[in-house]
Amino acid sequence: MHQVAAIQMISSTDVQANLTRAAELIAEAAAQGARVLLLPECFAVFGTADLTRVAEEEISGAKPIQRFLAEQARHHAVWLIGGSIPLPREPGKKAMAACLVFDEQGREVARYDKLHLFDVEVADNQRSYQESRDYDYGDQVVCIDTPVGRVGLSICYDLRFAELYLALSRAGAELIVVPSAFTAVTGAAHWDVLLRARAIETQCYILAANQGGLHPGGRETFGHSCLIDPWGVIQQVIAKGEGVVCGALDLDYLKSVRGRMPVAQHRRFAAADTIVPAAKESEHHE
């Protein structure tokens, strides 16, 4: 069995303060034996109006957040999944919400750009969210091999789109990560049920790292970072506040679940496919 960890934060607009706190929590997770660590969405910069400057630093400047992730992965000899950071594909382009993965030697081994952007109305203090004003859409499904198994990447609002998770399952995912900044309102209504549904329908482990409390400026996030098994059982969870959720992946158990209920073999819809209608009775006699 392999240990994995989700890190829950309450990030602010102060990049350096966020990185300092993330380093403390990464050390805590590594000390518990986790080999793959997941940071939440917007772990390094949350709610800032200066997103463009941060993104420019990451694409053509000193790259402080990327350097931090590489150094932390190398220092603790862990695989580190960096939640999301604002990172354009090219200088001068609009930022993507990018999830970067670094191996135990501090090498970037994968990048996933958030596919679904959060343009919604929510009954909270902020009222309206328009991620597409600040970010461009990703266009690729990303699944990678790691020391704990094959890992599928997603971010926050992606959770509402089952077709992405089924695509990750078809790509061989055994663990799917969900770095998030789910609001308190939407989280209370849908967080647990969506995470459990994605685990059940894909028969994968789900590791979700959420922001978890009241942020400067009044925005509140739901927390409840967790590890869910392929049967949909919540194995570990932390409610509110900052901290670490650490748990084990049992790939033999995953194979057992899939073997006893082989839903992947039973599925009659594939991506973008439709079921061919059954022939009418009269057609059998033509």
∠ Cα 139 183 186 (to 5°): 90
- 41 a catalytic residue: yes
Position 153, amino acid: L
Catalytic one of 143, 156, 226, 246: 156
CA atoms within 13 A on the CB side of 272: 0
Distance CA 255, CA 267 (A): 17
Catalytic one of 42, 99, 114, 174: 114
Tokens 């862990």, residue?
78
CB-neighbour burial class of residue 107 (10 A; exposed 0-12, middle 13-18, buried 19+): exposed
Distances (CA, A) of 185 to 11, 114, 127, 164, 217: 18, 22, 11, 24, 16
- 156 a catalytic residue: yes
218 contacts 183 by C-beta, under 8 angstroms: no
What separation, in Å, do the N-terminal and C-terminal C-alpha atoms of the chain show? 58
Residue among 265, 201, 273, 208 nearest 236 (CA): 208
Tokens 């992606």, residue?
158
Exposure string of 67-97, with b = 16+ CB inside 10 Å and e = fewer, is ebbbebbbebebbbbbbbbbbbeeeeebbbb
CA atoms within 13 A on the CB side of 210: 31
- 93 a catalytic residue: no
83 contacts 42 by C-beta, under 8 angstroms: yes
Q: How do beta strands 243-249 and 108-113 pair? A: unpaired
In this structure, the chain runs to a length of 286
Q: Mind telling me the catalytic residues? A: 41, 114, 156
